[in-house]
Chain A
Amino acid sequence: MIGLEDLYREIILDHYRTPRNRGELETPPARRAEGFNPLCGDEIIVYLQVDEAGVIDDVAIGGQGCSISQSSASMMSVAIKGKTVEDARKLIVAFKGLMSIHETDIGGDGSETALGIDLEGASEGMQLGDLEALRGVVKFPIRIKCATLSWNTLAQVLDE
């Protein structure tokens, strides 16, 4: 039987209790995008500051919602900070793969081909690290949208 411990792993609850990179960034120079889950009213705001070399030198997360959406956003912010935009895009693909989502549209207007990467091996060399803890979400299909909300919002802000 699927247990709640598959969903509410300790690392997830830790990011929910103590969200990382919580706050706002000044826009501009930062870019900002909002994502909503109309089903449950969850809201994620992603602020992204990218330097001239294409490196994400700062990220902030706003909004409110359930433990899965908020912890996923927190873990995402840690994972992408200091990474290049290109690597962040690869992480999006890797995370969506983890969530077993093979939709052709990865958030915003960017299709996989428009992102300039092929799904096969797109996440090559990318370590999901703590994000692996969200793997159990797949056993609770209605929560997948919670877990992917921040990633769709990230894709949106990268495409803008």
Chain B
Amino acid sequence: MALRSTVKSDFPLLDQQFHGHQLVYLDSANTSQKPQAVIDAMTDYYETTNANVHRGSYELAVRATDALEGARAKVGAFINAESNSEIVFTKNATESMNLLAHCWGEHSLKAGDAVVISEMEHHANIVPWHMLRARKGIELRWIPVDASGHLDLSDLDRLLDGAKLLSVTAMSNVLGTLNPIAALAERAHDAGALMVVDASQYVPHVPTDVQALGADFLVFTGHKMLAPMGIGVLWARAEHLEAMPPFLGGGEMILSVTKDGFTTNDVPWKFEAGTPMVAEAVGLGAAVDYLSDLGMSNVRQHEVELTAYALRTLTERHGDKITIHGPAEPAERGGVMSFAYADVHPHDVAQVLDQSGIAVRAGHHCAKPLMDVLGTSATSRASLYVYNDKSDLDKLADALSAVDDIFSF
């Protein structure tokens, strides 16, 4: 079943012009736009429900607490968590990953222990491990990326030998590659390692079932899935959360504090020190409702079809001038298309496209090790979501001709 045709009109921001052209937003891998339902839910929270949570004894505070915990339950159901206590709210996926590296890493790793990541990771799944290496002397191992944009798993046994953790993206934010997470989790477990999934580009676009993925930890962020900026999620199996020491110290994360010390609150609140981002959680809950109404399998199908159309159209229209990175088969990838246009620098490509009202990202996409593998310093990237349609991709193909006009020499 396809997405309903009125989706675009749910997003008020998209109804405006830039440089005399209707906005064509092709940067959802960077951040997504927000449907009216999410905006309304957050406004309604502040107009009717706002109070501090978990501590007021009056009816309004109970309502605010219910709003926060209700959002947690929606997120838990959305990814098929076993219990809502496995859902930790953070600021974003980066904070989720840092929480993991700090709390699990400090607690469970010692000097010489290996953490395995891949060359296609976002800096959020690289730098926290670099920092842990500096603090604890862990070893960092890298799964290579092959010429087709897939992980090269031919040497995985050796990489996993003696490793304690495998941390891999479910979908590359540059190549769009969907990685075989369930198989990787099995391999990690066979080798005695735990499995972390960076699902920032995955949860917004693909039906997600943490039980089926078989991972131990999974991180993602709200703002890439129609929710506001400022809320992210760490999902972890309860036994891991129980074993991990707390992250930040303060209110909310304690059961008791004396002059001699403190005892920690139950999970997940043990990891949520201070007043949380309640309106943002409500926004995330509304985004989950919105995506669930569309149907995540419809979202995925929509993006596979659009990606196929994009790959076909851009290649037909621009031939050898355009090089699109990542898997050639739409079913093996998400709607993230990084490309090179002749030898025009991505910054110039993005500038010319902006003049036609088209928003794409140019740069290294917080994946500099992958840029080294691709042999470039930057790419242009068009990325899709529920509000995009074929006309957006036609406009992209048209506007790329202007790049050719200015820079062909």
Interface residues of A in 137-160 (CB under 8 A from B): 140, 143, 146
Residue in A41, A68, A146 whose beta carbon sits within 8 Å of that of B371 in the complex:
A41
Contacts of A2 in B (CB 8 A): 19
B347/A146 in contact, CB under 8 A: yes
Is A1 located at the chain interface by the 8 A CB criterion? yes
Residue in A4, A13, A41, A146 whose beta carbon sits within 8 Å of that of B378 in the complex:
A41
Interface residues of B in 367-381 (CB under 8 A from A): 368, 371, 377-378
Chain A minimum-CB-distance residue to B371 = A41
Residue in B20, B364, B409 whose beta carbon sits within 8 Å of that of A17 in the complex:
B409
Taken residue by residue from 329 to 369, chain B's Cβ proximity to chain A (1 for < 8 Å, 0 otherwise) reads as: 00000000000000011111001100100000011100010
Is A66 located at the chain interface by the 8 A CB criterion? yes
Least CB distance from A93 to B in Å reads 26
Taken residue by residue from 62 to 75, chain A's Cβ proximity to chain B (1 for < 8 Å, 0 otherwise) reads as: 00111110000000
Contacts of B351 in A (CB 8 A): 4, 7, 140, 143
Residue in A4, A13, A41 whose beta carbon sits within 8 Å of that of B355 in the complex:
A4
Contacts of A146 in B (CB 8 A): 347
- State whether A43 and B377 are in contact (beta carbons under 8 Å apart), knowing that A1-B19, A66-B348 are contacts in the complex: yes
- State whether A67 and B363 are in contact (beta carbons under 8 Å apart), knowing that A41-B378, A143-B351 are contacts in the complex: no
Contacts of A65 in B (CB 8 A): 345, 347, 377
A66/B347 in contact, CB under 8 A: yes
A67 to B351, CA, bound (A): 11
Interface residues of B in 147-180 (CB under 8 A from A): none
What is the number of residues of chain A that contact chain B, defined by CB distance less than 8 Å?
21
Least CB distance from A36 to B in Å reads 10
Least CB distance from A109 to B in Å reads 27
A67/B352 in contact, CB under 8 A: no
Chain A minimum-CB-distance residue to B20 = A1
Contacts of B368 in A (CB 8 A): 41
Interface residues of A in 8-36 (CB under 8 A from B): 8, 13, 17
Least CB distance from A23 to B in Å reads 19
Contacts of A7 in B (CB 8 A): 351
B348/A67 in contact, CB under 8 A: yes
Is A39 located at the chain interface by the 8 A CB criterion? yes
Residue in B345, B363, B371 whose beta carbon sits within 8 Å of that of A39 in the complex:
B363
Of B20, B347, B351, B406, which is in contact with the most chain A CB atoms at under 10 Å from its CB? Answer: B347
Chain B minimum-CB-distance residue to A70 = B345
Contacts of B362 in A (CB 8 A): 40
Is A58 located at the chain interface by the 8 A CB criterion? no
B409/A41 in contact, CB under 8 A: no
Interface residues of B in 2-50 (CB under 8 A from A): 19-20
Taken residue by residue from 308 to 348, chain B's Cβ proximity to chain A (1 for < 8 Å, 0 otherwise) reads as: 00000000000000000000000000000000000011111
Least CB distance from B363 to A in Å reads 5
| B residues adjacent to A (C-beta < 8 A) | 19-20, 344-348, 351-352, 355, 362-364, 368, 371, 377-378, 402, 406-407, 409
Q: Write 22 A-B pairs (CB below 8 A) sorted by A numbering.
A: A3-B355, A4-B351, A4-B352, A4-B355, A13-B406, A13-B407, A39-B363, A40-B347, A40-B378, A41-B363, A41-B364, A41-B377, A42-B347, A64-B377, A65-B345, A65-B347, A65-B377, A67-B344, A67-B348, A68-B348, A143-B347, A146-B347
| A residues adjacent to B (C-beta < 8 A) | 1-4, 7-8, 13, 17, 39-43, 64-68, 140, 143, 146
